[in-house]
Amino acid sequence: MQINGSSDGRIAHYFWLVIYMITYNNLYPRIYSVFNLALAWKKARKGKTKKDYVIEFEKDILNNLLTLQEELKNETYKPKPLETFILRDPKTRKISKSDFRDRIVHHALCNILEPIFDKIFIYDSCANRKNKGNLFAIKRFYYFIKKVSRNGKINGWFNSNQIKGYCLKADIKHYFQEVDHNILIRIIENKISDNQTMNLIKLILINGQEKEEIGMPLGNLTSQFFANIYLNKLDYFVKHKLKAKYYVDDFIILHSSKEQLIKWKEQITNFLKEELRLELHPEKSRIISLSRGIDFVGFRNFYYHKLLRKRNINKILIKIGQYKLGNLTKENLFESYQGWQAYAKWADTYRLRAIISKEIDYFDL
């Protein structure tokens, strides 16, 4: 909701604030309601209807959902151990996979909490939010480039090779492994005063943790959602304390002054250490001239064009190779190709897409 400064705007703001606060202490029944669990089940099964564990759960869907509801209602619900595996795409990551019924609970929780917290996220918080995501982030990035560089003009003339301005491109070191449970819980408790809901959150947090009260499993829907809540403090610090106008989370800051970005980087480093017990990655956090091009959300971005990163090109080439070796079905290759093509078209890839398309057509997909 936007506050327009008028009396009507202020009245509307305080009205919704009161409603907002009243609903926070009675959320748990909404989480385990049959309607919400059914909605959560539909979300959890999306794109996985042919999986054995989904088929098995749906053999007695009504009874399984009612049993899950009863466990949540009586607070006897216990998540099953996580299934972990290593993913190398392109860097090595440890992914944790929850049991299907636990994923339904994750969706049920997020169904109720997301609308509450989404209202307090900054406009340019993009990760895992409805109507946001990578394409929204890249559009904002180019809007910010034009603002910082004054539409690419140097002394009144446009020069795409000498774009004025700099970018602080930063990454948080081992973010999911280092999230502090106590800090996260305090942040959530500022908005949620429902003890039963908080107990469920704590139950999900401690499931499969390797360090005591530290870290979240990479792969859980709830981990992605909690990550946004945790870093919302950083977003507010950057936007309202540092007053950085051109900031997109996950995260980059643009400014015409390199010295200003150096100062902000130091302040962000201190804030992360003192408030969130996190640190910037020393090798992945640096200040870059906009004229050199900026790697962001899968593209190498210049003022007047963008290129697809090599690893994103390699992804589809690897899939084609797997299909040739008989390790990938025709349906899976086509699905991967469709997704890759939809993303690649946002870059200057006309010739590349023509080559890949010709290769795909050869297989008569």
Other Cβ atoms within 10 Å of 32 Cβ, number: 23
Separation of alpha carbons 119 and 333, rounded Å: 39
CB 188 within 8 A of CB 204: no
Separation of alpha carbons 269 and 284, rounded Å: 13
> Rounded to whole angstroms, what are the CA distances from 183 to 34, 194, 226, 278?
32, 17, 11, 11
Separation of alpha carbons 243 and 75, rounded Å: 44
CA angle in degrees (0–180, nearest 5) for 175-228-256 = 80
Closest CA to 200 of 222, 175, 224: 222
Q: For residues 202-224, b (16+ Cβ closer than 10 Å) or e, as one string?
A: eebbebbbeeeeebbbbbbbbbb
Separation of alpha carbons 72 and 65, rounded Å: 11
Strand partners, 301: 294, 306
Q: In what order do the strands lie in the sheet with 306-308?
A: 294-296, 299-301, 306-308
pLDDT value at position 89? Answer: 63
pLDDT value at position 332? Answer: 87
Per residue of the chain (365 residues), what is the pLDDT tens digit? Answer: 344 444 554 554 454 445 435 446 789 999 999 999 999 999 999 989 999 999 999 999 999 999 999 999 999 999 999 988 887 766 677 888 999 999 999 999 999 999 999 988 999 998 888 888 888 898 899 999 988 887 655 444 445 555 689 999 999 998 999 999 999 999 999 999 999 999 999 999 998 777 788 999 888 999 999 999 999 999 999 999 999 999 998 789 999 999 999 999 999 999 999 999 999 999 999 999 998 888 888 888 888 888 898 888 988 999 999 988 888 888 888 888 998 998 899 899 999 999 988 888 766 65
CB 287 within 8 A of CB 244: no
pTM above 0.85, yes or no: no
Size (the chain), residues: 365
φ/ψ bin of 51: left (φ > 0), alpha (ψ from -120 to 50), beta (otherwise): beta
Separation of alpha carbons 150 and 198, rounded Å: 48
Closest CA to 248 of 147, 174, 111: 147
Separation of alpha carbons 229 and 224, rounded Å: 9
CB 281 within 8 A of CB 181: no
Separation of alpha carbons 304 and 301, rounded Å: 8
> Which CB contacts under 8 angstroms, 24+ apart, belong to 272-279?
272/172, 272/234, 275/183, 275/233, 275/237, 276/180, 276/183, 276/230, 276/231, 276/233, 276/234, 277/178, 277/180, 277/183, 278/172, 278/173, 278/175, 278/178, 278/179, 279/172, 279/173
Separation of alpha carbons 121 and 85, rounded Å: 32
Q: Which residues contact 242 (CB under 8 A, 6 or more apart)?
A: 264, 267, 268
Q: How far is CA 329 from the centre of its chain?
A: 29
Closest CA to 124 of 244, 274, 216: 244
Q: In what order do the strands lie in the sheet with 286-289?
A: 246-248, 252-255, 166-169, 286-289
Separation of alpha carbons 322 and 263, rounded Å: 48
Cis peptide before 81 (omega within 30 of 0): no
